[in-house]
Amino acid sequence: MGNNMERIEHHASSDGWQDVYQHASTTLGCTMKVGVYLPPQAQHGKVPVLYWLSGLTCTEQNFITKSAVQRFAAEYGIAVVAPDTSPRGEGVANDAAYDLGQGAGFYVNATQEPWAANYRMYDYVVHELPARIEAQFPVTTERSISGHSMGGHGALVIALRNPGRYRSVSAFSPIVAPTQVPWGQKAFGAYLGGDQDAWKQYDSVELIRTAQERLPLLVDQGLNDEFVESQLRPELLRKVCEETGHPLTLNLRPGHDHSYYFIASFIGEHMAHHASALNR
């Protein structure tokens, strides 16, 4: 892969190391930052990897500083890789709104200008990032994937579109049917253009209808989430999984909202779910 990732932060955490790296991305045409947690087990051999995709407005920092994932990653011996949510930089297309442009990559490969040159987060997460991680760090090729909101959408879509590539998948508050809600319709219209058939390749509900692999889905959704009815629509995921027989555990959590307080409350259960698959 060449030009190794450069470490720019280094913090002891739960007997392992929470670091942040940066590198020039050939896929995105910009410098990317990535959080990498190596558990203590990585000092003695290779460990599996959980890839975490964050949501709108987030960077590589939100999950690694707010979720308390490190203590569970250390317990189960799992590396955690948390990239930024979009390409960034002065030469990268942007928008004044929070839900388009930098910080809002939506984990798609854009086909429309001015986005197509840089906004290829799907290829970055599926191909370039794991190739770099597996070349530079003491990790195996055993992978799982998870995320929150826009990142939960990304995790589900990437797992569904790449059978055999991930051992497990989970999501917090995912946008399950972006073709049917305002966030997704706005982003897909900009990044992918007017052909709504092209949108379906990045829609979990649509992908489940033709999924080649029945990878069990673990989804947590807070019932006090301000976006649950307008943007997230978990009932659409439940319906299509019931119709197709796709295994789904959908936990509806009373009182919980869209924040990292919610994620931190249940990240331990998600890490146990991934550990059971990764450490088989």
Beta bridge partners, 128, equal none
C-alpha distances in angstroms, 111 versus 43, 87, 172, 259? 42, 15, 28, 31
C-alpha distances in angstroms, 62 versus 66, 84, 192, 204, 268? 6, 9, 27, 24, 17
Q: What is the mean pLDDT of residues 165-170?
A: 98
Does position 1 have pLDDT exceeding 60, yes or no?
no
Active-site option among 23, 258, 270, 273: 258
Query: In this structure, what token pair is assigned to residue 129?
Result: 């990032």
Mean pLDDT of the residues in the chain: 97
- Of the candidates 21, 12, 91, which has an alpha carbon nearest to the alpha carbon of residue 60? 21
Q: What is the pLDDT of residue 2?
A: 56
The model's confidence at residue 3, banded by pLDDT at 50, 70 and 90, is: confident
pLDDT tens per residue across span 66-110: 999 999 999 999 999 999 999 999 999 999 999 999 999 999 999
Active-site option among 170, 225, 246, 265: 225
Q: What is the pLDDT of residue 6?
A: 98
The pairing of beta strand 47-53 with beta strand 30-38: unpaired
Beta bridge partners, 218, equal 170, 249
Query: pTM here?
Result: 0.98
pLDDT tens per residue across span 127-156: 999 999 999 999 999 999 999 999 999 999
* High-pLDDT (> 90) share of the chain, %: 98
Q: To 10 degrees, what angle do helices 260-278 and 69-76 make?
A: 10
Q: How far apart are CA 158 and CA 65, in angstroms?
A: 24
Q: How far apart are CA 68 and CA 59, in angstroms?
A: 16
What is the residue type of 72?
Answer: F
Q: How far apart are CA 151 and CA 106, in angstroms?
A: 7
Residue length of the chain: 280
Beta bridge partners, 170, equal 218
DSSP 169: E
* Domains of the chain, earliest start first: 6-279 (3.40.50.1820)
Q: What is the pLDDT of residue 85?
A: 98
Is 11 catalytic? The answer is: no
User: Residue 165, SS3?
Assistant: coil
C-alpha distances in angstroms, 196 versus 161, 177, 180? 18, 13, 11
The model's confidence at residue 280, banded by pLDDT at 50, 70 and 90, is: confident
Host H or E run for residue 220: strand 217-222
Judge whether 132 and 86 are in contact, CB under 8 Å: no
